Amino acid sequence: MLTAIYPGSFDPVTNGHLDVIGRASRLADRLVVGVLLNSNKNPLFPIEERVEMTREAVKNYSNIEVTSFDGLLVEFAERESAQIIVRGIRAISDYEFELQMALMNRRLKPNLETVFLMASEQYSFVSSRIIKEVARLGGDIGGLVPPSVESHLRARFQRS
């Protein structure tokens, strides 16, 4: 059974993420979406809420699991018996960073492959950071995130 991991902070999950998730789910028997608890970042949503939003967004896929993790990605991949790491690439700047990470991961775990999936055109500009900023300023993010995520964002910024 081929298991792939798609890691990210998913703060929040966007339709760009879901595009990569959907395509990656066709490449593996089992896709684990790993929501990263990164102590170096200050996320808008707590880890439990990010996992919940991501699970809601992928609930129609039978071969996708969503879980949280912290620490080294290669150790998480090993715990999940994954052979592949999936990463989405939007632009050349993404590739430079992702290449460094892929090479380090290969050094740490030589049998773990990284597969890059290009973002679909309609999502190539979408990032969680931009979505949060537009939502914070009251802009329209419809079509860029799942409706449930849009609701979470509206609720979060109404409290602010």
pTM over 0.75: yes
Tell me if 64 is assigned to some domain. Answer: yes
Catalytic residue among 55, 90, 106, 156: 90
Tell me if 102 is assigned to some domain. Answer: yes
Q: Is 90 a catalytic residue?
A: yes
Tell me if 133 is assigned to some domain. Answer: no
Tell me if 113 is assigned to some domain. Answer: yes
Question: Looking at residue 115, what is its pLDDT?
Answer: 97
Question: Looking at residue 159, what is its pLDDT?
Answer: 58
- Give the C-alpha separation, 103 to 98, whole Å: 9
Q: Would you tell me how many other CB atoms lie within 10 Å of the CB of residue 69?
A: 19
pLDDT tens string, the chain, 160 residues long: the values are 999 999 999 999 999 999 999 999 999 999 999 999 987 778 999 999 999 999 999 999 999 999 999 999 999 999 999 999 999 998 887 898 999 999 999 999 999 999 999 999 999 999 999 999 999 999 999 999 999 999 999 999 985 5
Tell me if 140 is assigned to some domain. Answer: no
Catalytic residue among 17, 50, 132, 152: 17
Question: Looking at residue 40, what is its pLDDT?
Answer: 78
User: Can you give the CATH number for the domain in which 59 is found?
Assistant: 3.40.50.620
Nearest-10 Cα torsion for 66, 144, 120, 76: -20
Tell me if 142 is assigned to some domain. Answer: no
**Burial status of residue 3 (CB atoms within 10 A of its CB: 0-12, 13-18, 19 or more):** middle
Catalytic residue among 41, 59, 136, 154: 41
Q: Is 17 a catalytic residue?
A: yes
Cα–Cα nearest to 63, from 21, 112, 17, 109:
21
Total domain count, the chain: 1
Q: Is 152 a catalytic residue?
A: no
Tell me if 35 is assigned to some domain. Answer: yes
Structural domain span for residue 69: 3-124
Tell me if 147 is assigned to some domain. Answer: no
Catalytic residue among 25, 87, 128, 152: 128
